[in-house]
Structure 1
């Protein structure tokens, strides 16, 4: 007896030949074919969730009149941390489906750093009920480096097993580039597991150039999304790496890299990486990036290739990314190819609708240790100041004494460790922002305020089971609970975005000038992004790969 998939495929052939009627025909569309850079008028015939044929004279059970609207493949985000939106996969789908995104390759190292391998399994299960296609890559750096200790750790053996999981497409971003270049044995075992899987190996080489970049590519990595200048982007393409151009809430690189994209590089795509729910609802998702590209003189078909056929090819998803016979009928109807206003989004030939939430996993509570109630957060007097950028996840080094807002990172897993340093560039003059989503170990982070406000913000995070909170003068000004591992909410996107806007307004009233303060703060502890980052163990000089005034890391 034939499997259902084979029966559907044979029916698709009969429908394409005109021997049977299809399920749906979209008449009178302007079809955008990014693979050939064409736009042409055609009807699109669909059966069994796939495209059967393009042409005219088709018969189907149902007809949609496109009336000249543009019909293009729906969009794929090839590298995204769903947790950074603060939404579950179902919530994320509700936010992005109206903007034309129907497929994502999730890099779930947020929930995996908190809950281990079961976090990856949860993400894929949650994706199945979300209403969009959710694939994943296996986190390669759990923890991100030897300077971080989170809620879980994955060695090469565990990663090799997770790489066998259905809908896993590769090894996720290898952030610990110092260990790659230095020959660290544990990291190279992870790379070997990735190579043995035959899947993609995503890169992450922030600030790496010259011979070090060549060495990083020679280790077997296939992509990079850390280019911030045209020179860095071109260097990555010349090294054979696929260029992922990132435009998220904390790192905005698209405008700077448009000169490279105008050259129509064959191996490039657009990704969001980390994007907050308030920005998704305010500005859009990949449709916003397409508007920027076309305004920057890219042909619409070339821009669409960056979010359709190119990412599908990179990830080996051979039946996604085009409107063509045999491909999944995932497409969008667009009013025009300038504003990319989405009239309707389709998944498998059906109007896209967000699905249901999957219950949260046990674990992931916030435990700041037994001495939190009396903690004092003193900064060593000679430590440099972390200069914060509003548009990048990198930081720079400022002289001691130039800081204006204290940063505290506290272990959330009950070990009772914390460290503090001074920052500049946030504008915050009073009050405390506290969060439990801190890349990548997801400790608790606190920006600004008195010791009393920081302690109260920590207590509120514990009470909520994780989240975001603003405390000033002993008063909770605004908050957003994140009960899913302290990272995500199942609130509707509009409600979550409103609470984030309330948080942003509360911080603005306290002087904060960051456009997306929660997202910016969430990267100030990531130990593999230059130049300074703070962990519960102390202030890390990422460039020197050592704690300030302390330990030098082992690289071999």
Structure 2
């Protein structure tokens, strides 16, 4: 659907409909159109032909169409576009994700499929686009640039510069995905720069990912050719990125929430900014919403509705070069959302290509991507070196802190899930979990090994066995017994359950973790980020505890 090519005849029909020489397919009468480019909201009729807007204007223009919908003064905005999202983090397939977000006004996303690519390699990106094409959404993609995210991670695949170049040539791929390995960029690592050169040769956008990077290092990172960053957490960081010529992606997801902190910058109306969700789980999508929720927060915080709408329509479309998306204007895709008002952003109807949006079909999974914890898993023990610092976990953030040895509350174990047998453990604080009962996942950004929080060796082993049996997912085990689980048979990352059913299973997992004392708002999402090796300050990989700031694995023995 999203990559259709229109010929001369299609465009000529738009001209005829716009001139009143021919009837269109659909006429939306009496809508109040939100035009973010001019900060206007004006009443107009909108006529659609062949899935595109033919014209819009006052009732006196006399547009004709085979079908008429009376908008009765409701607000008509361009369909919402998420310019940076990992669909896999919703725990849903693209079709399931579409079921959750189409009723919220989202009509398109630029997926960054490095989760499934870390598990399955290049075929994971190809599957994501195939699944997206039948989902009911417009799904574009960026080509993952860091698989694995760094030299300290081992996933199911290792994508070379040549394979990155191949992905960049796949129809529907708009550019290079977030370059997370900023130490490799700044240190001019040959393998990292080969991937950057592949991105430059393809001519598309090159997304950045510069968590904690400031000053000269940020300028050097931008000079390497990156175009954006979604890691700003303070107004100072946001302004520094805008001054450096980077597009500001303001992230508001389930694990990292930056919108409230960065709203003062958005109120300054920066020219090059957008709202993105990055990672958002199915339970939050159903409970709170998607981009509609972010719009409510922006307007409640003082942003003009048209400026807020621009952040999820024409701005991301401009950034990604989607020249037929992001506006209600002649020749543009008729992707639109009809809203009751511009405060609650309650969606009355969502249109994709001029038709009421309907979710599509689930694409079958690819082979592979299960859980293999090694032949000695049933006898494994998980000791923590006594001199290692404690990983401090913060709610609503994916950065971590550093605590003194001996101050830990719950043990974390990370185990290679691809059969190589690597595993490591550290102590954590801030989760509320203790030493009874285990939360286990096959989701650990970005390599997606198995992660376990809390519990005795026996419970960790039992949780691992449960993950192997269900082919990946999330489980809570207490005294060797599974209390709750969510199977994720698609690469150990996604389920084909309907969103409501998936959310119900996830809520059971969350409730079981909270019964063990967990205080994290979204335990599964937060735990899944505690192994991402490019986010400060401490992260746990199967090879050991990584000091991200020093860019080294801590040794098993205390240094003299």
- Please indicate the TM-score interval, normalised by the length of the shorter structure: over 0.9
Conserved? CA contact 2:102–2:350, under 8 Å: yes
TM-fit CA distance, 1:236:
0.2
1:173-210 per-residue CA deviation (whole Å, 9 max, x = no partner) reads 00000111111111011101101111000000000010
Secondary structure of the 1:62 match is strand
Secondary structure of the 1:307 match is coil
**Aligned twin of 2:53:** 51
Secondary structure of the 2:239 match is helix
Q: Is 1:32 aligned with 2:38?
A: no
**Aligned twin of 2:379:** 374
Once the two structures are superposed, the pairs formed by residues 235-274 of structure 1 within 5 Å of their partners are 235-274=240-279
**Aligned twin of 1:168:** 173
TM-fit CA distance, 1:550:
6.9
Distance 1:156 1:281 in 2: 38
Match for residue 422 of structure 1 among 423, 427, 438: 427
1:364-393 per-residue CA deviation (whole Å, 9 max, x = no partner) reads 111000000000011011100000011100
TM-fit CA distance, 1:549:
2.4
**Aligned twin of 1:533:** 539
Conserved? CA contact 2:115–2:445, under 8 Å: yes
Match for residue 350 of structure 2 among 326, 340, 345: 345
Match for residue 109 of structure 1 among 114, 132, 137: 114
TM-score by structure 2 length?
Answer: 0.97
TM-fit CA distance, 1:10:
1.3
How many residues align? The count is 549
Q: Is 1:489 aligned with 2:491?
A: no
Q: Is 1:131 aligned with 2:136?
A: yes
Conserved? CA contact 2:29–2:44, under 8 Å: yes
Q: 1:322 to 1:539 in 2, by over 3 A?
A: same
Distance 1:250 1:474 in 2: 29
Distance 2:418 2:216 in 1: 39
Q: 1:249 to 1:416 in 2, by over 3 A?
A: same
Match for residue 506 of structure 1 among 501, 509, 512: 512
Distance 2:409 2:236 in 1: 34
Q: Is 1:473 aligned with 2:475?
A: no
Distance 1:322 1:203 in 2: 26
**Aligned twin of 1:214:** 219
Once the two structures are superposed, the pairs formed by residues 312-327 of structure 1 within 5 Å of their partners are 312-327=317-332
**Aligned twin of 1:554:** none
TM-fit CA distance, 1:147:
0.4
1:422-467 per-residue CA deviation (whole Å, 9 max, x = no partner) reads 0000001221000001100100000001110100000000000000
Q: 1:543 to 1:509 in 2, by over 3 A?
A: same
**Aligned twin of 1:100:** 105
1:500-542 per-residue CA deviation (whole Å, 9 max, x = no partner) reads 1111111111100001000000000000000000000000000
Match for residue 23 of structure 1 among 22, 25, 29: 25
**Aligned twin of 1:41:** 43
1:132-154 per-residue CA deviation (whole Å, 9 max, x = no partner) reads 00000000000100001111011
Match for residue 9 of structure 1 among 8, 11, 21: 11
Q: Greater shift after overlay, 153-162 or 309-318?
A: 153-162
Distance 1:158 1:28 in 2: 50
1:446-490 per-residue CA deviation (whole Å, 9 max, x = no partner) reads 000111010000000000000000001111110000000000000
Match for residue 450 of structure 2 among 444, 449, 453: 444
Conserved? CA contact 2:90–2:97, under 8 Å: yes
Match for residue 304 of structure 1 among 306, 309, 313: 309
Conserved? CA contact 2:385–2:556, under 8 Å: no
TM-score by structure 1 length?
Answer: 0.98
Distance 2:463 2:470 in 1: 11
Secondary structure of the 1:427 match is coil
Q: Is 1:515 aligned with 2:521?
A: yes
Secondary structure of the 1:236 match is helix
Distance 1:270 1:98 in 2: 19
Q: Is 1:63 aligned with 2:75?
A: no
TM-fit CA distance, 1:4:
5.6
Distance 2:334 2:87 in 1: 24
Runs of 5+ consecutive residues of structure 1 not aligned to the other structure: 552-556
Q: Is 1:458 aligned with 2:464?
A: yes
Distance 1:149 1:549 in 2: 18
**Aligned twin of 1:76:** 81
Distance 1:508 1:519 in 2: 14
Distance 1:140 1:183 in 2: 15
Distance 2:159 2:518 in 1: 37
Distance 1:360 1:5 in 2: 34
**Aligned twin of 1:288:** 293
Runs of 5+ consecutive residues of structure 2 not aligned to the other structure: none
Distance 2:525 2:200 in 1: 33
